[in-house]
Amino acid sequence: MGSDLAEVVHVGRDDYLATVASYKASGFEMCADLCAVDYMTQPNRPLPVDVTPERFEVVVNLLSLSQHRRVRIRVQVPERDPVLPSLFELYPGSEAMEREAFDLMGISFEGHPDLTRILMPEDWEGHPLRKDYAVGRVPVQFKEAPGPR
């Protein structure tokens, strides 16, 4: 039985796709999660000395059910060019997760089959989970309360 702790691997953008492919080839059958983090307010967060911090980070959690192992892959994504290769060809289930990271954080995934908004309306401007997104910009809509019966 493997450890309950995930191995954490930091990779550069140039090595991202090849690293994920090597884990898939070594028995990591499932991409359990892919999400993006905005570290705008934490530029000096702790990272390994050989990792240059960027504003955004994409975090991918892969599982090997057969080996009882998990790995967390973390890749820094610069604000000036928030683009990564899509994992869709390796893990088709990542399609919706990449769309969510695109929609809410503005990170694009090259090679994605349908990189369109998934939660916000198509004409929405901006990315609501970015730290610099204006507070209160999301209008709240209430349904009319039911009347007395």
How large is the average pLDDT for residues 108-137? 90
Within-domain flag for 70: yes
Within-domain flag for 48: no
Using pLDDT thresholds of 50, 70 and 90, give the confidence band for residue 75: very high
* pLDDT at residue 134 in the model: 82
Distance in angstroms (rounded) separating the CA atoms of residues 129 and 14: 25
Tokens 């290769």 map to which residue?
85
Q: Give me the CATH number covering residue 96.
A: 3.30.460.80
User: Nearest 5°: phi and psi at 38?
Assistant: -105, 110
- The answer to whether the CB of 62 falls within 8 A of the CB of 73 is yes
- The answer to whether the CB of 115 falls within 8 A of the CB of 108 is yes
* pLDDT at residue 138 in the model: 57
Beta bridge partners of 71: 7, 62
Q: Which amino acid is at 133?
A: Y
Within-domain flag for 144: no
Tell me which residue range forms the domain holding 12: 7-43+53-110
* pLDDT at residue 149 in the model: 65
Write down the pTM of the prediction.
0.86
Q: What is the pLDDT of residues 9-57, one digit of tens each?
A: 999 999 999 999 999 999 999 999 999 999 999 989 999 999 999 999 9
| Count of domains forming the chain | 1
Distance in angstroms (rounded) separating the CA atoms of residues 62 and 12: 17
Distance in angstroms (rounded) separating the CA atoms of residues 61 and 91: 12
